[in-house]
Amino acid sequence: MKDQVMYQYENNLYKSGHKLIAGTDEVGRGPLAGPVVAAAVILNPDITIEGLNDSKKLSETKRNELSKQIKEKAIASTITHISPREIDQINIYKASQKAMIKAIEKLDPKPDYILSDAMQLPGIPIPCMSIIKGDSKSASIAAASILAKVNRDAYMVKLAKKYPKYAFDQHKGYPTKKHLEALKKYGVLDVHRKSFAPVHDQLYKQQKLDI
């Protein structure tokens, strides 16, 4: 029943004559470190992928399994990163927006309709519907959220190997107690978002000590 509900937006659009419906979503707005990552997915209307849902509601094992299915069965899928430096330059909202737009623009074939998770996408010359909590209501958006989450988590695991003291593999850059303690003890890295309050405050303390 859940799978049928997840495809309701797509099915209505198929009935309206749309054939290439893209879902887009981003992950990583809240972390203090690492990129914001967006994905865009055009699902195949002839293939139902069971179990699609908001990536945060799925186990890591289930996300990884579904990520493989999405890449294999979707008509097209793309993933984009916006770096911490650019996040600091343009702010996290605009960075999230930019990541989703870039993911849409990279799709081949081009979609004829876009479903986005709670965000308007200015400048895209394609009809678009913004759905609040879309990653738990639309299969296409859910698929994008899964690809973005799996990709970003893998990226943070790689960062953990480069900076083992920060345990990025455990908290993925989110402001957990462990991350905040590491930030205080070892300082700010290039991969941190310096415009975010805990990082900005720590950077200020470091600079005062250096004077």
Look at residue 2 and tell me whether its pLDDT is greater than 80.
no
Pairing state between β 36-42 and 21-27: antiparallel
Provide the percentage of residues in the chain whose pLDDT is more than 70: 97
Q: 123-138, pLDDT tens digit by residue?
A: 999 999 999 999 999 9
Look at residue 1 and tell me whether its pLDDT is greater than 70.
no
Neighbours of 60 (CB within 10 A): 11
As a residue count, the chain comes to 211
**Across 59-81, average pLDDT:** 98
Q: 138-165, pLDDT tens digit by residue?
A: 999 999 999 999 999 999 999 999 999 9
* CA geometry: angle 137, 32, 165, nearest 5 deg: 120
Question: Domains of the chain by range and CATH?
Answer: 2-160 (3.30.420.10), 163-210 (no CATH)
Look at residue 211 and tell me whether its pLDDT is greater than 50.
no
Amino acid at 138: S
Query: What pLDDT score was predicted for residue 209?
Result: 55
**C-alpha–C-alpha distance, residues 92 and 108, integer Å:** 27
Look at residue 68 and tell me whether its pLDDT is greater than 80.
yes
Query: What pLDDT score was predicted for residue 144?
Result: 98
Burial 169-204 (b: 16+ CB within 10 A, else e): eebbbbbeeebbebbeeeebbebbbbebebbbebee
Q: Is 38 exposed, middle or buried (0-12, 13-18, 19+ CB in 10 A)?
A: buried
Average pLDDT of the chain to the nearest whole number: 95
Look at residue 41 and tell me whether its pLDDT is greater than 80.
yes
